[in-house]
Structure 1
Amino acid sequence: MSASPTRWQKAQKSGGGGENCVELSLNSDGTVQIRESDDPGRTITTSRENLAAFFDGVKAGEFDHLIS
Structure 2
Amino acid sequence: MHFGLATHKATERTTVLARARLDHPERFGTPSITPKILDLPTDAWINKPATDATAAEPETDQPAA
Q: Give TM-score scaled by structure 1 length.
A: 0.20
* Bigger Cα Rg: 2
**Higher relative contact order structure (alpha carbons within 8 Å, sequence separation ≥ 6):** 2
Higher normalized helix content (fraction of residues): 2
Q: Give TM-score scaled by structure 2 length.
A: 0.21
